[in-house]
């Protein structure tokens, strides 16, 4: 319950007692609050207008209340009831990965370090060195783009860990709503929660939020999509925290939104040395195989045979290997089983790619390829 932490931050003398269905908060100055069925009730005859304003602001950081009801006894507040609606936005989490756990091409590793440096030195260059006079609305927005499974989400967690912050993970499905206007409210709630928790805000499938605005609006769905993108632009301009985007469709970004991004980082499938390091890192300590044999002989061979594999593909291949051995009632892993597992993973990857391509006609595939070729000629720095 994020509301509890927000209240605790506002009133330092508050003591919290929680149960599965409700919570009670008591303070030394007699203020009592409790919630049942998402209704929070405040009782205190001594609250002044400033305290009421603080409580309203505190709640607004969590998410916008649907209704606020105030009853008074003479000139003082007797009860303030706030109904907080259901929200798909979950709480920020502790990052799952660190920078030391990343295995990326050397150039991308350096790009990530440069991006971290830009965030660390943001205050120095804007406030102390006067860059704010040139750019009055600075942003701390990074965009990770590239194929699926290449480490974008893992890098987002590592960035948050390096900044000593939690990370709020947002997917388009958590924001989108079939009800008119609700998507924009959900998006605003995400920014409010990130601000309240001082968390890094990470948007996966960012092309859904940052896509080009629809000019030939055909219905309410198009209107909602445009409204959401306009809302995103406005919230990005107001937000002073760190925002990370991840996409494999960077060329679909709206230029007005793309221009707000501090740095673009291109993720690609790992090269041969990176694949070998990833395989050595992925092998569990409990794996029934001699680790020296795997690292010195098997991993280099598998790295050679897995050209074009993403980090996720390599993980799937190792999983295939383990299940093949278990299904054949083997007690140890060997080179032949690893080769079979990687062959099955490669075939599955090929089948999925062919299935995806078959959904588009050859003419459409050619048109898409031509468009992407033209778009890729414009450099994203």
Q: Which residue has the tokens 């990530």?
A: 112
**Nearest-angstrom CA–CA distance, 267 and 223:** 32
Q: Is the model more confident about 236 or about 217?
A: 236
Contact yes or no for 261/245 (Cβ under 8 A): yes
Q: Which residue has the tokens 């980082």?
A: 265
Total domain count for the chain?
3
Does some domain include residue 11? yes
Q: Is the model more confident about 363 or about 14?
A: 363
- CATH number, domain with residue 314: 1.10.8.60
Looking at residue 330, the DSSP 8-state letter turns out to be -
User: Is 254 found in the same domain as 343?
Assistant: no
Does some domain include residue 126? yes
Q: What is the tens place of the pLDDT at every residue in 349-366?
A: 988 888 766 555 454 455
User: Is 282 found in the same domain as 250?
Assistant: no
Is pLDDT of 40 > 50?
no
Q: Which residue has the tokens 């925002």?
A: 243
User: Is 251 found in the same domain as 200?
Assistant: yes
**Nearest-angstrom CA–CA distance, 16 and 10:** 13
Among residues 36, 51, 83, the one where a domain terminates is 83
Give residue 196's pLDDT band: very low, low, confident or very high (50, 70, 90): confident
CA distances from 150 to 160, 266, 270, 300, 329 (A): 18, 10, 7, 20, 33
Is pLDDT of 381 > 60?
no
What confidence score (pLDDT) does residue 366 get?
52
- CATH number, domain with residue 131: 3.40.50.300
User: Is 53 found in the same domain as 171?
Assistant: no
When pLDDT is averaged across residues 263-271 and rounded to a whole number, the result is: 95
- What percent of the chain has a predicted confidence (pLDDT) above 70? 67
What confidence score (pLDDT) does residue 43 get?
42
Half-sphere exposure of 46 (CA within 13 A, CB side): 6
Contact yes or no for 195/61 (Cβ under 8 A): yes
User: Is 167 found in the same domain as 48?
Assistant: no
**Nearest-angstrom CA–CA distance, 48 and 98:** 46
User: Is 109 found in the same domain as 74?
Assistant: no
Q: What is the tens place of the pLDDT at every residue in 278-290?
A: 999 999 999 999 9
Contact yes or no for 40/33 (Cβ under 8 A): yes
CA distances from 62 to 18, 21, 186 (A): 18, 19, 11
User: Is 277 found in the same domain as 220?
Assistant: no
User: Is 195 found in the same domain as 139?
Assistant: yes
DSSP 107-120: HHHHHHHHHHHHHH
User: Is 257 found in the same domain as 159?
Assistant: yes
Q: What is the tens place of the pLDDT at every residue in 288-341?
A: 999 999 999 999 999 999 999 999 999 999 999 999 999 999 999 999 999 999
User: Is 168 found in the same domain as 298?
Assistant: no
Is pLDDT of 68 > 50?
no
Is pLDDT of 252 > 80?
yes
Does some domain include residue 379? no
Does some domain include residue 13? yes
333: phi then psi, degrees, rounded to nearest 5: -100, 145
Q: What is the tens place of the pLDDT at every residue in 107-161?
A: 999 999 999 999 999 999 999 999 989 888 888 999 999 999 999 999 999 999 9
**Nearest-angstrom CA–CA distance, 78 and 44:** 6
Average per-residue pLDDT in the chain? 76
Q: What is the tens place of the pLDDT at every residue in 207-216?
A: 888 887 777 7
Does some domain include residue 363? no
Closest CA to 269 of 323, 241, 299, 308: 308
Does some domain include residue 373? no
Q: Is the model more confident about 75 or about 354?
A: 354
Q: What's the whole-model pTM score? A: 0.70
Domain that holds residue 125: 99-266
Among residues 39, 58, 83, the one where a domain terminates is 83
Does some domain include residue 117? yes
Among residues 53, 83, 113, the one where a domain terminates is 83
Does some domain include residue 178? yes
**Nearest-angstrom CA–CA distance, 171 and 234:** 19
User: Is 198 found in the same domain as 58?
Assistant: no
The three-class DSSP label of residue 332 is: coil
User: Is 229 found in the same domain as 150?
Assistant: yes
312-344 burial code (b ≥16 CB/10 A, e <16) = bbbbbbbebbbebbeeeeeeebbeebbebbbeb
3-state SS record for 145-165: ECCCCCCHHHHHHHHHHHCCC
CA distances from 147 to 150, 153, 212, 321, 364 (A): 6, 12, 20, 24, 21
């Amino acid at each position: 319950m994020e509301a509890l932490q927000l209240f605790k931050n506002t009133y330092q003398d508050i003591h919290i007692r929680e149960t599965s269905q409700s919570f009670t908060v008591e303070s030394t100055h007699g203020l009592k609050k409790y919630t049942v069925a998402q209704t929070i009730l405040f009782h205190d005859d001594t609250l002044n207008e400033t305290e009421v304003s603080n409580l309203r602001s505190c709640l607004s950081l969590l998410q916008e209340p649907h209704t606020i009801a105030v009853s008074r006894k003479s000139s003082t507040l007797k009860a303030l009831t706030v109904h907080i609606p259901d929200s798909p936005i979950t709480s920020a989490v502790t990052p799952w990965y660190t920078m030391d756990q990343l295995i990326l091409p050397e150039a991308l590793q350096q790009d990530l370090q440069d991006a971290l440096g830009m965030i660390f030195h943001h205050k120095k260059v804007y406030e102390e060195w006067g860059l704010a006079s040139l750019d009055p609305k600075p942003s701390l927005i990074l965009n990770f783009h590239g194929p699926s499974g290449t480490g974008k989400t893992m890098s987002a967690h590592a960035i948050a860990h390096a900044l000593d912050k939690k990370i709020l993970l947002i997917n388009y499905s958590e924001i989108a709503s079939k009800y008119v206007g609700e998507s924009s409210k959900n998006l605003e709630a995400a920014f409010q929660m990130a601000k309240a928790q001082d968390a890094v805000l990470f948007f996966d499938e960012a092309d859904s939020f940052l896509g080009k605005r629809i000019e030939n609006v055909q219905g309410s769905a198009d209107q909602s999509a445009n409204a959401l993108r306009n809302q995103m632009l406005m919230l990005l301009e107001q937000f002073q925290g760190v925002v990370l985007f991840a996409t494999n469709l960077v060329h679909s970004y709206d230029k007005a939104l793309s221009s707000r991004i501090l740095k673009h980082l291109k993720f690609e499938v790992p090269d041969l040395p990176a694949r070998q390091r990833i395989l050595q890192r992925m092998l569990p300590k409990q794996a029934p195989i001699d680790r020296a044999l795997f690292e010195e002989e098997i991993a280099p061979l598998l790295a050679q045979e897995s050209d074009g594999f993403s980090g996720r593909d390599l993980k799937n291949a190792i999983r295939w290997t383990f299940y093949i051995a278990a299904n054949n009632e083997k007690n140890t892993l060997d080179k032949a089983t690893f080769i079979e597992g990687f062959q099955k993973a490669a075939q599955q990857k090929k089948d999925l790619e062919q299935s995806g391509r078959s959904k588009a006609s050859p003419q459409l595939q050619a048109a898409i390829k031509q468009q992407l070729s033209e778009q890729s000629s414009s450099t994203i720095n």
